[in-house]
Structure 1
Amino acid sequence: MWRYILKRLLLMIPTLIGVLALTFAIIQFVPGGPVEQMVQQLSHSGVGGETTAISSVFKSRGGLQPEELQALKKLYGFDQPPLQRFGHMLAGFARFDLGESFFHHQSVAQLILSKLPVSMSIGLWTFFITYLLCIPLGIAKAVRDGSLFDLASSTVILLGYAIPGFVLGVALLVLFGGGSFWQLFPLRGLVSDNWDSLSLIDKVLDYLWHIVLPVTASVVGNLAVMTMLTKNVFLEEIRRQYVYTARAKGLSERAILYRHVFRNALIPLITGFPAAFIGAFFTGSLLIETLFSLDGLGLLSYESVMRRDYPVVMGSLYVFTLLGLVAKLLSDLSYVLVDPRVSFDGGER
């Protein structure tokens, strides 16, 4: 097992470098970098149409002088060749130094950590609610395959899957957020403005009150995939030969389902648990966060791309890719540990 783990860890290195290299190469051809944006800001007018002192000097001199432009490139690290900059970035990432944001003026690691609680709140609630609903519903659909309940529930969950999360979010705001009908839930944020002055119980209730709509908009789209996966896995197990043998021996359907089918059918679901759990920490959805005014990782990623904040783009990509590779390894390990028929060399025992 340890040999397999070491092999997978070593394979992560070229994969991680490849992802970073491809993204870094694409960045080199994207126009409107931080230097160009800074020059553009210097040339713009101030509030109310009155030019600022810096902008006036800038325009009177006909733009930046060559040495000033070079100093600006040095400030952002663009005075070095691309390969050298990529090497310095990899060296920093090896020490888990993600660099400093061009526009937020703080380290990328601190920036990610500051936005993480918002995405975690939505992601973890979505993860747990999805699993708690989908597994019992999928089992019920498999047991009642072809029944009216199966057809009706499939229609409902597929309809929910067809509706984009942000469209559902808009509908929820209109219906329950005071848009046109009822003011039952808040429109923005995870907590109220007076949250610090509330008691512990009131803080919990206030937090739960705020996450109802965004979590609902996130969960509905995930229900269909997990529910149908659970149903199909259980159906496959129910139709296996050992189930017919157990019935011939006189075992009840309940005993067959929970003693034999349940354990075998949960293997694919359990093996996907590590990746889904880790992914829940970084499940920031740009549209959901924007719609409900949640300042999380989804909004941060979008703003960093639009503003060409390359340290944030590369740093967040590095963290997400690394955690994704680790989650994949944990999923494979859990599959081998849960199913004794599979060995670490990729074959069956």
Structure 2
Amino acid sequence: MLAYIVRRLLLIIPTLFGILLINFLIIQAAPGGPVEQMIANLEGFEGSATSRVSGGGGEVASGGNYRGAQGLDPDIIKEIEKMYGFDKPAHERFWLMIKGYLQFDFGDSFFRDAKVTDLILEKMPVSISLGLWTTLITYLISIPLGIRKAIRHGSAFDIWTSSLIIVGYAIPGFLLAILLIVVFAGGSYLDWFPLRGLTSNNFDQMSTWEQIGDYFWHLVLPIFAMVVGSFATLTMLTKNCFLDEIGKQYVTTARAKGLSESRVLYGHVFRNAMLLIIAGFPSALISIFFTGSLLIEVIFSLDGLGLLGFEAAINRDYPVMFGTLFIFTLLGLVVKLIGDITYTLVDPRIDFDSREG
């Protein structure tokens, strides 16, 4: 097991390198880089810098090179390129970026006047709050519900709970979030919950218990909007895994030995049925952390990592884009490894060394 973990950790290095390289090459072909945006701003254009800059008689190339500008001094253009590091060839910029990442130095944001590391640390609590509580609540409800549905398969309970979770799955999270704001956050009806932010303005003046209550009070609506659509997949996966295991021969044998239904279910079936569910945990957690919460962050004015990465992509803030990509990828690979290790905790019969052999 130790050898397997070491190999997986070593494999993270080329995987990270490959992902960063592919995305770097894609970015080089994308129009509207920071140099073009700065030139457009200096020439007084308010629109997107991805289009041709025609006011000075020149145009912006998609590869990041500005081809002539009659209204802008070429020396100024060179200074802008130097300021953003575009005075160096692409391969040199990539290697400088990799050298910095080896020391977890992601550089400075082009437009926020702050270090990328500081920005990520600043936004991390919001994403951790949304991802952690959403994942925890989803698993605490979906797994027992899926087990119950498997035990009572075909009953009225199974049918109406399936109907409810499918309806919840069909409602987009952002649409439900808007509905919750309209109904419960002072939109048109009730004013029970705060509309924006993770804490109140006077949070620092509250006592410890008041701070805890205020924190969870702000989380109620966004977490509810994210959780409702998350039940269906995990609940049905749990149910189907248990149904598949319940029909196997070893369950019949255990019942024939006189074991109670609870002992058969949780002593034998549970360990085998949970393997597939555990396998999907890392991807579900990372998805909720960094992608599933984007629209929720926007709607509830929660300034987290999802919103940070989205704004960086729109503004072509390359240091923030690649810094968040590096962090997201690294966390995803590490969590995936943790999921594999958890396999052995649930079922010690699994041997990764013999599987690879």
Using the alignment, how far apart are the partners of 1:45 and 1:142 within structure 2?
61
The Cα shift of 1:321 comes to 0.7
Amino acid at match of 1:36: E
Q: Deviations over 1:270-306 (max 9, x none)?
A: 4544555566654562210010111111111111011
Using the alignment, how far apart are the partners of 2:208 and 2:9 within structure 1?
43
Alpha-carbon distance change, 275 to 45 in structure 1, aligned in 2, over 3 angstroms: closer
Counterparts in 2 of 1:64-143, with a 5 A limit? 64-143=72-151
**Where does structure 2 lack aligned partners over 5 or more consecutive residues?**
47-68
What's the Cα RMSD here? 2.1
Contact 2:184 2:192 in 1 (8 A): yes
Q: Which residue is 2:37 aligned to? A: 37
Contact 1:190 1:207 in 2 (8 A): yes
Q: Which residue is 1:184 aligned to? A: 192
Q: Deviations over 1:93-112 (max 9, x none)?
A: 11111111001111111100
Counterparts in 2 of 1:155-170, with a 5 A limit? 155-170=163-178
Q: Deviations over 1:226-277 (max 9, x none)?
A: 1111111111111111111122222222221122222332233345445555
Contact 2:130 2:293 in 1 (8 A): no
The Cα shift of 1:62 comes to 5.8
Using the alignment, how far apart are the partners of 1:234 and 1:100 within structure 2?
50
Using the alignment, how far apart are the partners of 1:284 and 1:256 within structure 2?
37
Q: Which residue is 2:58 aligned to? A: none
Using the alignment, how far apart are the partners of 1:330 and 1:312 within structure 2?
27
Counterparts in 2 of 1:239-318, with a 5 A limit? 239-273=247-281, 276=284, 282=290, 285-318=293-326
Aligned pair 1:219/2:227, yes or no?
A: yes
Aligned pair 1:27/2:27, yes or no?
A: yes
Q: TM-score, normalised by structure 1?
A: 0.90
Alpha-carbon distance change, 199 to 145 in structure 1, aligned in 2, over 3 angstroms: same
Using the alignment, how far apart are the partners of 2:126 and 2:103 within structure 1?
26
Q: Which residue is 1:152 aligned to? A: 160
The Cα shift of 1:330 comes to 1.7
Task: Tell me whether 145-154 or 62-71 shows the greater mean CA deviation.
Answer: 62-71
Q: TM-score, normalised by structure 2?
A: 0.88
Contact 1:116 1:282 in 2 (8 A): no
Contact 2:116 2:319 in 1 (8 A): yes
**Where does structure 1 lack aligned partners over 5 or more consecutive residues?**
47-60
Counterparts in 2 of 1:316-331, with a 5 A limit? 316-331=324-339
Task: Tell me whether 282-291 or 232-241 shows the greater mean CA deviation.
Answer: 282-291
Query: Aligned residues: percent identity?
Result: 58
Task: Tell me whether 225-234 or 2-11 shows the greater mean CA deviation.
Answer: 2-11
Contact 2:43 2:72 in 1 (8 A): no
Q: Report the count of equivalent residues.
A: 335
Using the alignment, how far apart are the partners of 2:344 and 2:213 within structure 1?
41
Amino acid at match of 2:268: H
Alpha-carbon distance change, 284 to 268 in structure 1, aligned in 2, over 3 angstroms: closer
